[in-house]
Amino acid sequence: MRKPIVGISYKTYINSIQETFKMLDQIVRLTGTEKKIEQVIFPSIGTLYPAAQVLKGSNIALGAQNISPEKNGPFTGELSIESVKEIGGRYVEIGHAERKTIFKESQEMINKKTRLTLEEGLFPFLCIGEEEQENNEDLLYNTFNFQILSALNGIHIELIKNVIIAYEPFWAIGKSFAADPEYIHKSHDIIRNVLADLYGKEISKQIRIIYGGSVSKVSTPFIINNNNVDGLFIGRFGHNPKNYNEILRIVMSIKC
C-alpha cells in the first residue's frame, strides 16, 4: 500500500556542476525508468538547477536539502521554496541532524519549514532521531513523539500523510556501519505507534518511514526486510552510481 521510496543526499560532497552532470547522467541511465519505486536526489545546493535539467523526463525526482522558513522576504542566504518549485523540485529535506547540531535549527524552525513545504504542495523528508543509542523503548517513544508533534504542530490533518519520516539516529550518521537492523526495526515500530497515537491508525498506515545513517549495499537487505521500513535515505555509500543502483535493486527485490 505504501510505495517504497529511496532518497540520496549529496550533502556538500559533490559540488561541481560537471561532476553532478556526470553522476546523474549515469544514475538516470541505470535507474531512471523505474516506476515501482520512488527515487529522489538531493544535490548540493549550488548544483540544484543543472541537476534538475538532467533529471527532467526521468522517474527520478529532485529534492532540496533545505529551504527558507518563509516563501520570500528578508531571509539572507536561504533557498526559497519558490525557486525549488520553479525548477521542478518535489521534495524538501527538513531537520537533518547536521542542520540541528551545526546550524542550531530549532523545532520551531523545523515546524515552519515542514508546514510551508506541505502547504506549497511539496513533500517533506522530515528527519527525526535520537542523539545517543537508547535501549529504553519508553524514552525512544517520548523522543520521537516530541520531534514529530513539534514538527507537525498546527498542520492540517489532510496534509500529514504526505510527510515522509526519515529516521536518522544521530549516532549512526557518518559512520562505517548503519545501526543494527533489529534496533532500526524496533525504532520504526515505535515511530509507527507514535503516528497512530497522534493521527489515528488510518493516517499512520499511509505515512512512509525510511531509514538513513551509513546505509550501504551490505546492510540494505537486512534493514529493508521489515514491514515498517518503507525505504532508505542514502548518503556516502550511494555516491557512486553503481553502488546506488545496487542498493536500489536490493530494495526493489524485497519491496516491489
Residue indicated by cell numbers 523545532: 107
Rounded Cα–Cα distance for residues 174 and 22 (Å): 24
235 scored as a contact of ligand PGA (CB under 6 A): yes
Q: Which of 93, 96, 130, 185 is catalytic?
A: 96
DSSP string, 118-129: HHTT-EEEEEE-
122 scored as a contact of ligand PGA (CB under 6 A): no
233 scored as a contact of ligand PGA (CB under 6 A): yes
Q: Which is nearer to ligand PGA, 114 or 214 (CB)?
A: 214
Shortest Cβ distance from residue 168 to ligand PGA (Å)? 5
Q: Which is nearer to ligand PGA, 118 or 234 (CB)?
A: 234
Angle (CA) 24-30-34 rounded to 5° is 105
Shortest Cβ distance from residue 72 to ligand PGA (Å)? 28
Q: Tell me the number of residues near ligand PGA by CB under 6 A.
A: 12
Q: How many CB atoms lie within 10 A of CB 121?
A: 11
Among 88, 121, 174, 200, binds ligand PGA (CB under 6 A): 174
Q: Which of 93, 105, 168, 188 is catalytic?
A: 168
Looking from the CA of 239 toward its CB, the CA atoms found within 13 Å total: 15
Shortest Cβ distance from residue 127 to ligand PGA (Å)? 7
- Residue 168 is a catalytic residue: yes
Which range touches ligand PGA (CB under 6 A), out of 17-25, 46-54, 146-154, 168-176? 168-176
Beta pairing class for 38-42 and 5-9: parallel
DSSP string, 5-73: EEEEE-TTT---HHHHHHHHHHHHHHHTT--SSEEEEE--GGGHHHHHHHHTTSSEEEEES---SSSSS
Q: Mind telling me the catalytic residues? A: 96, 168
Positions that interact with ligand PGA (CB under 6 A)? 9, 168, 173-174, 212-215, 233, 235-237
